[in-house]
Homo-oligomer: A and B are copies of this chain.
Amino acid sequence: MITKEQVLGILKNYDLESLTIATVCSHSSLQIFDGARKEGFKTLGICVGKPPKFYEAFPKAKPDEFLVVENYGDIMNKAKELREKNTIIIPHGSFVAYLGSDKFMELEVPTFGNRGVLEWESDRDKEREWLLGAGIHMPKKISDPKDINGPVMVKYDGARGGKGFFVAKTYEEFQKLIDPTQKYTIQEFITGTRYYLHYFYSPLHEDGYTLSKGNLQLLSMDRRVESNADEIFRLGSPRELLKAGIRPSYVVTGNVPLVARESLLPLIFSLGERVVEESLGLFGGMIGPFCLETVFTDELEIKVFEISARIVAGTNIYPTGSPYSDFIQEDLSTGRRLAQEIKYAVETGSLDEIIS
């Protein structure tokens, strides 16, 4: 694993007036490139094989240049080239998934945020320790499937995109549906409506909604569109479908915009605040964009079932502003907010605080 000292050593040789913002050509790259350009940065898209043609259709979001690799692992061999371009990597979810956690931790290129968060985010037990430590309400965890006595959601570890997740109401159902070759977690199924809350934590700013260090913003929110769970009711209830051999699935295909009751904003900010404060104590802080994946119950409680400690694809709905970021600044996407943070850090000589 690359150390902070090593990264700071690399940064010393950077021309900070000529930084390049880079990421892998997927996930939320359009807004990252668009936002970086709006803040005056050069942009670089990392892709396998050849540049994806679709960027040609989006001139404002097309990176200035592409770095073509043979496979994602090959990024490791391009570190020198990236450093020569004074590159700072924005690690979105697909970046980390495609490269692999181990390699990501070793990549010898300065990376936005605290790479140490990955250890806490990718392991469901440590994630739970973090969130419960922050006083967050989570769905109950059921350790022994025999203890299932009400609806539960079963998730496989590392299954990004929700592939294979299922709902069961009894141990018998669980047994029928489980893939025993995979590591799984069983969570109480919370009835309510899903909200994915997009925050931004800056350790640098001393104004705004201040925390013990830095400030917190709420940039937007979305609801994920899950295939086929979100439309399968058109065919029948889960029980009816199971008889016909059809199972609901929870693969994310996209996102819809929404807003929350304004009276819930104090609670929403409090959740974000506690998660950040706890992260400062646990591992030096989660920096930049993060997302709490929640259910709002009919008691107007918010249960958090997961955290994503980086930019989430749900922010793609808002490339030029959201119903929340519009109260901060015109034309503010999460991608642009990321670029602003880097720009501000350069201007205030504090890049070392937001890079690892």
Contacts and interface: CB of A to CB of B under 8 A. Distances in A.
Contact of A260 (B226, B253, B261, B299): B253
Contacts of A194: 231
Size category of the A interface is 35 or more
Nearest to A316: B259
Contact of A263 (B94, B210, B233, B326): B94
Interface in A231-247: 231-240, 244, 246
Given A57-B218, A235-B238, A239-B236, A259 B265 contact: no
Contact of A235 (B60, B151, B265): B151
A319 B313 contact: no
A329 B264 CA distance: 30
A183 B61 CA distance: 46
B58 A246 contact: no
Contacts of A257: 256-258, 317
Contact of A323 (B60, B169, B230, B317): B317
A244 B152 CA distance: 14
Contact of A225 (B61, B150, B258, B330): B258
Report whether over half of chain A's contact residues are helix, strand or loop; otherwise say mixed: mixed
A242 to B, nearest CB: 11
Q: Which of A52, A244, A251, A298 has the most CB of B within 10 A?
A: A298
A210 B316 CA distance: 24
Contact of A234 (B60, B218, B248, B263): B248
A196 to B, nearest CB: 12
A57 B235 contact: no
B327 A225 contact: no
Nearest to A193: B227
15 contacts: A26-B262, A34-B327, A54-B269, A57-B209, A60-B328, A169-B244, A189-B235, A191-B235, A192-B253, A193-B253, A228-B297, A228-B298, A251-B298, A251-B299, A257-B258
A248 B56 CA distance: 42
Contacts of A167: 234-235
Contacts of A228: 191-193, 297-298
Contacts of A191: 227-228, 231-232, 235, 246
Given A56-B208, A216-B57, A298-B227, A254 B260 contact: yes
